[in-house]
Homo-oligomer: A and B are copies of this chain.
Amino acid sequence: MSNVKEFTDRLSKLDFKKMYEDNFFLTWEKTDDEIAAVFTVADALRHLRENNISTKIFDSGLGISLFRDNSTRTRFSFASACNLLGLEVQDLDEGKSQIAHGETVRETANMISFMADVIGIRDDMYIGKGNKYMHDVVDAVTEGYKDGVLEQKPTLVNLQCDIDHPTQCMADMLHIIHEFGGVENLKGKKVAMSWAYSPSYGKPLSVPQGVIGLMTRFGMNVTLAHPEGYDVMKDVEDVARKNAASTGGSFTKTSSMAEAFKDADIVYPKSWAPFAAMEKRTDLYAKGDQDGINALEKELLKQNAEHKDWCCTEDLMKTTKNGKALYLHCLPADINDVSCKDGEVQASVFDRYRTPLYKEASFKPYIIAAMIFLAKVKDPVATLKALEDRKTLRHFQ
C-alpha cells in the first residue's frame, strides 16, 4: 500500500519554489534544498510506481530529445521519465547544417516547442559549446513564451554537457544515499574520483566534474586523482573547493590512485580526456583541421598508454575502507579482458559490484522525472498527494 506522506513531509520542509518554470543546467546552480527536493521527488515517484499508482501528470504533450552524441542509457532514461509523466518522446534528429548558426537555434527551438513540456539535450563533445547551446535554446523558448508564441514554456533538462552531467551524478548520489541509509550518514565519508585507463580516448569530462561538483556538498571528503596532464576544468575544481568548505567536508587532489583509494568509502574510477587536449580538439574542429585532429588523437592515445597501471584492481580495492568501498561507474565500463585487454577495472571487481551498479543506473529515469516534475508542477506536495488519491493504476489487471 502506498503512503506518499513520508516524502511529502520531507518536501514540505524544503524551499524549492524557484525550480517551478525553471531549468536544470548544473547541480551547483541549485541550492541544497533544491537538490534535496529532486532526490525526494525521485524517491516519491518511484514509490508510487512500485505501488502501481500512475504518476502521469500530462494527458498529452511532447518530451523532445536531442542527442548530439551516442546514447543508450540516457536515451532510455529520458524516454522512461517522459512516459512516466505522460509525455510522448519526439526525437530531434538534426540535419547536417540545419542548426549551424545562432539564427536557427532560436527558430528551431520555437518550431519544435509548440506542444513541448520538456526538452532534453546531450551536447558534450566540445568544450565551451554544449552548455552554451542549452542556454541558447532556453533563451529562445523563454522569449517565445513571453511573446505569446508558445502556450507553455518547456523546461530544459541537461542530459550531459561539456561541464556537468547532472542526471548521471544525481543518480549516482541518490544510489549512495540509499546504500548508506540516508544523507545523514555521509559526513566524513571518503570519495575517490579517480582517472582510470581506457584504450579509447576523448571521453567527456562532465562525469568527473559533475561528481566533484556534487559530492562535495554532503560533508564528504572528496579526492580527485589523475595522472599529470589530465586536469579537469579549473572552474569546477573551485566549485568543489567552495562546496567542501561550506559543508565541513574537503576536496583534495592527488596524482596517485593508491592514495585516493586508501580508506575510501566510495570509489569512482573512470577514464576521461585531459581538459587542455579537449580545448585543443574543439579549436581544431572549429577550424576543420583534420590532420591536426588525427595528430592530436595519436598523441593522446600515446599519453594514455603510459598510464595503464591506473586500473581498479582487486589489490587496490583491498586498500579501501574494510576492503569494501562502494564501487561506482556511469557505465559502460572498460573491463579488463572483457571489453578490452587493459581497462578501467578488473573483471572480478566489476562482477562483484554488478548488481549495485545496475541499481545505480536505475535511479536516472526517476532523477530526470523529478527534474521535470519540479519544473512543471506548481505545488509538488499537493500534486503528489493528489496522484496517490487519484489511484489510477499504472498496470490495470
Whether the Cβ atoms of B61 and A112 lie closer than 8 Å is no
Interface check A346, CB cutoff 8 A? no
Among candidates B57, B70, B365, residue contacting A396 with C-beta atoms closer than 8 Å: B57
Among the interface residues A92, A150, A359, which one has the most CB atoms of the partner chain B within 10 A? A359
Given contacts A62-B79, A90-B89, A115-B365, contact A397 B104 (CB under 8 A): no
Chain A 332-364, CB-CB to B under 8 Å as 1, else 0, gives 100100110000000000000001001101101
Q: Are A103 and B379 in touch, CB under 8 angstroms?
A: no
Interface presence of A383 (CB below 8 A): yes
- Among A22-30, A276-284, A386-394, the stretch that binds chain B is A386-394
A114 at the interface (CB under 8 A from B): yes
Task: Give complex CA distance A90, B78 in Å.
Answer: 11
Stretch in contact with the other chain, from A141-149, A238-246, A289-297:
A141-149
A40 at the interface (CB under 8 A from B): no
Most chain B CB within a 10 A radius of its CB, from A90, A147, A397: A397
Residues of B within 8 A of A111 (CB): 72-73, 76, 331, 358, 361
A57-B396, A58-B396, A60-B84 are contacts. A72–B90 as well, Cβ < 8 Å? no
Q: What residues of chain B lie closer than 8 Å to A379, measured between beta carbons?
A: 397
**Is A226 engaged at the interface, CB distance under 8 Å to the other chain?**
no
Given contacts A95-B70, A98-B72, A108-B72, contact A86 B60 (CB under 8 A): yes
User: Which B residues touch A95, using CB under 8 A?
Assistant: 70, 72
Q: Are B57 and A395 in contact (CB under 8 A)?
A: yes
Which residue of A115, A152, A387 has the most chain B CB atoms within 10 A of its CB atom? Answer: A115
The interface residues of chain B lying within 8 Å CB-to-CB of A61 are 83, 394-395
Q: Which residue of B lies closest to A396 (CB)?
A: B57
B107 and A331 form a contact (CB under 8 A): yes
CA distance A80 to B117 in the complex (A): 11
Among B54, B76, B151, B396, the residue within 8 A (CB) of A114 is B76
Copies of this subunit: 3
Residues of B within 8 A of A392 (CB): 59
The answer to whether B57 touches A114, judged by C-beta atoms less than 8 angstroms apart, is no
What CA separation (Å) do A98 and B332 show in the bound complex? Answer: 10
Q: Within 8 Å of chain B (Cβ to Cβ): is A203?
A: no
Q: For the complex, what is the distance from the CA of A80 to the CA of B92, rounded to whole Å?
A: 13
User: What is the 8 Å Cβ interface bit string for chain A, positions 40-60, against chain B (1 contact, 0 not)?
Assistant: 000000100110001111111
Is there contact, CB below 8 Å, between A80 and B115? yes
Known: A149-B355, A377-B397. A88 touches B83 (CB 8 A): yes
Distance to closest chain B CB from A96 (angstroms): 10
A80-B339 in contact (CB<8A):
no
6 nearest A-B residue pairs (beta carbon)? A80-B115, A149-B358, A54-B59, A147-B355, A76-B112, A377-B397
Known: A46-B151, A62-B76, A383-B397. 20 other contacts (CB 8 A): A49-B151, A54-B59, A55-B60, A62-B79, A73-B111, A76-B92, A76-B111, A77-B114, A80-B114, A80-B115, A83-B115, A101-B338, A104-B332, A114-B365, A115-B365, A117-B395, A147-B358, A148-B355, A149-B359, A390-B396
A–B pairs, 11, beta carbons within 8 Å: A59-B394, A60-B84, A61-B395, A72-B92, A73-B111, A76-B92, A110-B358, A111-B331, A149-B362, A379-B397, A390-B396
